[in-house]
Structure 1
Amino acid sequence: MKANILNNIFLMLIALFFTTACSTKRIVSNTGTVAVEKKVKFSLSDIKKKGFSFETLAAKAKASIDIAGKNQDLNLNLRIKKGQIIWLSVTAFAGVEVARLYVTPDSVKLINRLNSEYVLKPFNFIHRYTSSAISYQELEALFIGNTLPFALVNGSSKITEENKLFYLAGNYENLHFKHQFNEVLQLLKLELKDTLAEQKLEASYQDYRPLSGKDFPYQISLSSSIENQKVSLNLNYQTVQVQVQQDYPFNIPKRYTLIE
């Protein structure tokens, strides 16, 4: 693996998982209702109910990452404690860890083992790379194929149907968002655009399988950009477990340097 790609793993952790909604703004409702096409059989409540639910999640995945046109295959070990912790370990070199991420609703911690560096920041650290509207909940949703929470807030969203596909879409200031669902309300695609900033996030979800009484996507593709650098991830879950006991270790070696 080329060193320049390895050195960008740290950037990837920030760029891919923190630029989740470009310059998204929080949707504010003036009407308190969602505009729904008269003949559409699904409601906003149906979409909420379809969302994958869990208390803890543990997953192992194969990942193909492209940073500025340079590809690298890596392994990801993901652990989530719903509403509390996202823990992600990135490994390469036959299982050698190169980076670790630990996110809570209040803080962001990153270890870059390639450069023996680490970051300890409050959660609003991510707002250097995206809008202050982005919360911990949006990050969780991307990993599990749920509709992004801000799109589920009663407001200017609109549900439509076309060729047996359903769409939850809307506009707010410079942002256009669009979710595409199939006939059983599995999220297939997600698109977010900020036309003024020329930023875009695209996600696709495939290979849904039953898991804990719900549908879970075992293939996820994400693409985004930060400072004109394109970053994309193709994620293939190998194993996914829910309601498991697990820890979320984040131990920083003494010789590592704190990055301000």
Structure 2
Amino acid sequence: MWSRLGPLLLIVLLAAGCKTKQKIVIPDKGAPVDVVSAHASEIKSFELSNLDFHTFSGRAKTRIELRDGAQDVTLNLRMERDKSIWVSVTAMLGVEVARVLITPDSIKILNKLQGEYISKPFDYVHKYTNKGITFPMLQDLLLANVSPVLLRTDMVQVASAEDEFLVVGIKDELSYKYRINKDNRPFNLSLQRIGANQSMEAYYSNYNKTAGYNFPLRITLNMAGDDFTLKSQMDFNKVEFNEKVELPFTIPARYKEVE
């Protein structure tokens, strides 16, 4: 599995020593009813509840399940808003096995176990995720923000129920559905590429306020495509906002580039 670590990390971001397997439980809850056309004020209220940050830093115990097994790792995730997403992956005994740097125009991955690296344009991520995914959408996905990119469409509707809202729409060949709690924070996102067998669901739970930021300490991703299925669960035990972050990324001369 480690030889596929680079592409796997891209899937997890969109989304390791082995331990005893435990099944990831995905929440289930009835959907709201009475869908009506969305008004600008309703959409704006969801956007205003997004996390307005400059930098983010978090550490999460993470379980990754594929068809052929499961792995447990620790992810250290750092972000500079609209500029960079940086990830360091450590396995048993705190050994770093991979590092990732994503910017709006590029993706770089170090596989430290194999002495290999990948350096690609951002659209390389579309090999593993919905082709409509952009850098801002990926950033919003990881922070449980309702994506303004997705909401900028005439094909959007809003439903309300006693304890939640439902936002459904179509944007750039992506159909999406947000389920949003009464604090205007999402607890579920579903994405489906129209006409293709590509889907992704994100579940956000255990919301906790850190320095005034209402952030979910558990993020579960469920992805499926023509030739893969993946589930990952991230349990954050450290979260910081607007502190200085460092994003070190250097490719050693001895590393071999993987096409």
TM-score using structure 2 length? 0.85
1:165 CA displacement: 1.3
Matched, 1:17 2:16: no
Equivalent residue, structure 1, for 2:116:
117
Distance in 1, matches of 2:121 and 2:51, equals: 28
Distance in 1, matches of 2:241 and 2:86, equals: 15
Distance in 2, matches of 1:69 and 1:168, equals: 35
1:181 CA displacement: 0.8
Equivalent residue, structure 1, for 2:4:
8
Unpaired runs of 5+ residues, structure 2, are: 16-35
Equivalent residue, structure 1, for 2:88:
89
Tell me if structure 2 keeps the 8 A contact 1:48–1:152. no
Equivalent residue, structure 2, for 1:73:
72
Distance in 2, matches of 1:175 and 1:84, equals: 24
SS of the residue aligned with 2:13? helix
Distance in 1, matches of 2:84 and 2:227, equals: 29
Matched, 1:176 2:164: no
Residues 34-77 of structure 1 show CA distances to partners (whole Å, capped at 9, x for unaligned) of 9327xxx9700000000012101111110011122511110000
Tell me if structure 2 keeps the 8 A contact 1:99–1:112. yes
1:162 CA displacement: 2.2
TM-score using structure 1 length? 0.84
Equivalent residue, structure 2, for 1:35:
37
Residues 112-171 of structure 1 show CA distances to partners (whole Å, capped at 9, x for unaligned) of 112111011222222333455321111111111111333221421111112321011123
Distance in 2, matches of 1:161 and 1:68, equals: 37
After superposition, residues 1-260 of structure 1 pair within 5 angstroms as: 5-18=1-14, 35-36=37-38, 43-130=42-129, 132-171=131-170, 175-194=174-193, 196-260=195-259
Distance in 2, matches of 1:204 and 1:88, equals: 20
Distance in 2, matches of 1:72 and 1:42, equals: 44
Distance in 2, matches of 1:72 and 1:132, equals: 27
Greater RCO (CA < 8 Å, at least 6 residues apart): 1
Tell me if structure 2 keeps the 8 A contact 1:12–1:231. no
Among the aligned pairs, what percent are the same residue?
Answer: 30
Tell me if structure 2 keeps the 8 A contact 1:16–1:225. no
SS of the residue aligned with 2:93? coil
Unpaired runs of 5+ residues, structure 1, are: 20-33
Tell me if structure 1 keeps the 8 A contact 2:197–2:225. no
